[in-house]
Amino acid sequence: MIVVLFGPPGSGKGTQAHRVASRLNVPHIATGDMLRAEVARGSALGREAEPIMASGKLIPDDLIVRVIEVRLDDPDARTGALLDGFPRTVPQAQALDAMLRRKGRAVDVVLALHVSDTELHRRIQHRAEVEGRADDTEAAFAERLRVYHSETAPVLDYYRTTATTIVEVDGVGDIDAVTERIAKALMPDGAGASR
């Protein structure tokens, strides 16, 4: 099962993706985490990505598409994956569809987490204090939210045009409650209902 977890920055995608992937028994593939690992390693990709990420902008589509293509070929992703932070633009979504089609695969479901901008601002301020991520400054976050609305939100409309299954879930509430909502939406028959 290939699931795209979709939501604005600060919506709790990462936290939920980690939990949901283990229930689905598929790898959690988070482009933000992969890029931060490249930055930490000081690789060529990391050096290119670092200033772009710090400013809240997106790294070029072709770069991230190549990273994902390699990752989806790993043996652990043969049966599925939970994608977190990708695709983030319509061209990325089109590239993902094309690469999956070549392999006889497809996105099975897009799970959209809904959180209002006001709640996002509140959460990100808290995360900035607790984690100190380089792109959690007020200016970088405002830019990430702007980019989300202009470039990432249209990805959901793209999936509507391709008739991909979209499940919408309210992302506000306590972490366990949101996990339950997502699990129920993805596995309505109750499979994996216990943690």
Cβ-proximal residue to ligand ADP, closest one:
32
Residue 132, C-beta contacts closer than 8 angstroms, at least 6 positions apart: none
The stretch near ligand ADP (CB under 6 A) out of 83-91, 105-113, 167-175, 178-186 is 83-91
Q: Could you say whether residue 100 binds ligand ADP (CB under 6 A)?
A: no
Q: Pick one of 32, 46, 91, 192: the residue that binds ligand ADP (CB under 6 A).
A: 32
With contacts defined by CB under 6 A, name the span among 21-29, 37-45, 54-62, 171-179 that binds ligand ADP: 54-62
Binding ligand ADP (rule: CB under 6 A), the pick from 1, 59, 109, 156 is 59
| Residue 156: closest CA among 169, 175, 143 | 169
User: If binding is defined by CB under 6 A, does position 181 make contact with ligand ADP?
Assistant: no
Nearer to ligand ADP, 32 or 46 (CB): 32
127 counts as catalytic = yes
The residue count of the chain comes to 195
* Interaction of residue 27 with ligand ADP, rule CB under 6 A: no
Q: Any contact of residue 31 with ligand ADP (CB under 6 A)? A: yes
Contact 2, 80 (CB under 8 A): yes
C-alpha separations of 113 from 116, 118, 167, 190 in Å: 10, 15, 9, 20
Tell me the three-class secondary structure of 14-55, residue by residue: HHHHHHHHHHHCCCEEEHHHHHHHHHHHCCHHHHHHHHHHHH
* CA dihedral sign, ordered 150, 152, 156, 157: positive
Which residues lie near ligand ADP (CB under 6 A)? 9-10, 13, 31-32, 35, 52-53, 56-59, 64, 85-86, 88, 92, 135, 144
